[in-house]
Structure 1
Amino acid sequence: MFAKVVSGLEVTGMRNFAAWVHGDATAARFGATPVGLPTGAGYAVGNRLVDAYLSATGRTAAEALPADSREVVDTALDRIR
């Protein structure tokens, strides 16, 4: 599940939000194309990425708010891999 969500990090557009964040059941319910993810997968992976970023940088969540999203993702993935 982690790798699948990470593979979609560059997908944009609100039409894709439900599938990549909420999962296939929600996507189907709202007429979007399912992508092969269970309910809540995007939230779970996002939480894991943020936790890895905070751990790697020693920042608090409040301190990390202005961080660029690319920095957060790249730092987190370096930490996880």
Structure 2
Amino acid sequence: MPNIKSAIKRVKVSEKRRLQNASQKSALRTAVKTAESALNSQNVDSAKDALVAATKKLDKAVTKGLIHKNAANRKKSRLAKKLNALTQA
């Protein structure tokens, strides 16, 4: 346990940020899984809505530094590819 006042504050701030990051990352994963399940259910309308929501969450996560930009782009690309295949069929 830190004795210095600034170190005590850093511990509190880090814990608060860790919890916030974990919550946002969990919400991100949920949005991506929802999009994937909508794509697998072959429902085009719900899949489009879920894809928009997942894309928004991914972009938000990049700006907050939760995930890397290329990782978000890769996930968005794969989801969009599945949606395009669904709309073609």
- Higher-Rg structure is 2
Quick check: TM above 0.5? no
| Structure of higher RCO (CA pairs closer than 8 Å, 6+ residues apart) | 2
Q: What TM-score do you get using the length of structure 2 for normalisation?
A: 0.29
Q: What TM-score do you get using the length of structure 1 for normalisation?
A: 0.31
